[in-house]
């Protein structure tokens, strides 16, 4: 039987394997570059041309290792990479336009989840009178879902001409997105809350849904008394299903609260992540008239709005935000070691 120290050492060795491989590749390319440099003055023109082309390729490869590969591998592994996610989306200012854009944004996240091979399910949504959505909660299950989607937390602003505006005036609307870490259903919530601290209320569900919804007490509302966090769920047909969903969302919100408290205790994460994912701040603008999407945390603009809303443009923002965060962590590590 292996002892705990052996298991710990094996895990650490596994974690540094990519860095070791990258270092060996760096050394091989550096040796090749030295050999190629001597051939740049070869008397044979054909040999010089080949050497010049290979010298350029090797220089680019080594530069990429310094600027991207090593910084990425030196960043401490994420402690939340195994977590799935819950996306909580609510319409803000802008009335009907906000609800229509919320439906558009929901489709963006569902398509992104599909492309990432994650399982995404809309567990609750409230439809507005114009066919849009007042709010929606999406469960996204898959490795790395929370780490990638967390960058979407914040206020998303849309600027476009509503179809109902005969004068062609641009309206500004907002949608608020909160991405929460999703705990597995078999994960105990004892570390996050005590059942004694949760008030459970059942009531008749309201709204569309037929006779079953109106005649049975299937809706559930949970209140976590120490924090005041409340969760209401009525979309499922049975009280048991709504209770399970409600506790899942409560657990996610308490875990999110715990992670944010941990962030406050770590200077680098507070500066690089909390600032960039502040839910009260406008993080991104979707300007339809200019065919432009701008992420204000990075000052990064993509001059192809359709690519973000209908294709794979969201990848560019997620990748850029993760890279910016990793670089910030590296800077803090260097400062702390100096």
87 vs 273, more confident: 87
Is there a contact between 248 and 235 (Cβ–Cβ < 8 Å)? no
Residue where the block lists tokens 């570390």: 191
pTM of the predicted model as reported, rounded to 2 decimal places: 0.68
Is there a contact between 243 and 200 (Cβ–Cβ < 8 Å)? yes
Strongest mean pLDDT among 87-101, 187-201, 241-255, 321-335? 87-101
Kindly give, in sequence order, each residue whose CB lies less than 8 Å from that of residue 243, ignoring residues fewer than 6 positions away. 200, 220, 233
At residue 15, the pLDDT reads: 65
CA distance 136 to 176: 11
| Residue 270's pLDDT band (cuts 50, 70, 90) | very low
CA distance 172 to 178: 20
The stretch 74-96 carries a mean pLDDT of 87
At residue 328, the pLDDT reads: 80
Q: Would the CA dihedral through 302, 304, 305, 306 be positive or negative? A: negative
Q: What percent of the chain has pLDDT over 90?
A: 44
Q: Report pLDDT digits (tens) over 28-69.
A: 999 999 999 989 988 888 999 999 999 999 999 999 888 778
Q: Report pLDDT digits (tens) over 175-199.
A: 999 999 987 655 444 578 888 889 9
CA distance 162 to 173: 10
The stretch 253-276 carries a mean pLDDT of 61
The stretch 241-249 carries a mean pLDDT of 88
Residue 15, both tokens: 């974690």
The stretch 101-130 carries a mean pLDDT of 94
CA distance 61 to 70: 12
């Amino acid at each position: 039987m292996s002892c705990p120290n052996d298991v710990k050492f094996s895990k650490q060795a596994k974690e540094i394997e990519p860095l070791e491989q990258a270092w060996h590749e760096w050394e091989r390319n550096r040796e090749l570059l030295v050999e190629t440099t001597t051939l740049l003055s070869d008397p044979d023109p054909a040999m010089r041309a080949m050497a010049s082309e290979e010298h350029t390729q090797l220089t680019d490869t080594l530069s990429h290792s310094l600027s991207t590969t090593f910084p990425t591998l030196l960043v401490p592994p994420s402690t939340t990479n195994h977590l799935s996610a819950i996306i909580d989306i609510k319409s803000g200012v802008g009335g009907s336009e906000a609800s229509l854009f919320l439906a558009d944004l929901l489709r963006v996240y569902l398509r992104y989840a599909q492309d990432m091979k994650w399982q995404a399910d809309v567990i609750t949504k409230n439809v507005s009178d114009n066919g849009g959505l007042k709010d929606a909660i999406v469960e996204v299950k898959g490795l790395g879902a929370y780490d990638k989607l967390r960058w979407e937390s914040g206020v998303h602003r849309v600027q476009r001409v509503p179809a109902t505006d005969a004068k062609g005036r641009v309206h500004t609307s907002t949608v608020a997105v909160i991405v929460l870490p999703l705990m597995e259903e078999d994960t105990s919530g004892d570390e996050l809350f005590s059942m004694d601290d949760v008030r459970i209320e059942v009531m008749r569900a309201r709204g569309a849904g037929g006779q079953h919804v109106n005649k049975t007490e299937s809706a559930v509302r949970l209140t976590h008394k120490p924090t005041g966090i409340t969760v209401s769920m009525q979309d499922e047909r049975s009280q048991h299903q709504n209770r399970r969903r409600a506790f899942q969302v409560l657990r996610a919100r308490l875990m999110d609260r715990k992670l944010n408290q941990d962030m406050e205790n770590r200077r680098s994460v507070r500066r690089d992540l909390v600032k960039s994912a502040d839910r009260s701040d406008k993080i991104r603008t979707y300007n339809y008239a200019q065919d432009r999407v701008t992420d204000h945390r990075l000052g990064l603009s993509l001059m192809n709005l359709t690519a973000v809303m209908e294709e794979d443009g969201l990848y560019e923002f997620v990748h850029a935000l993760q890279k910016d965060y990793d670089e910030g962590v590296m800077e803090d590590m260097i400062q702390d070691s100096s």
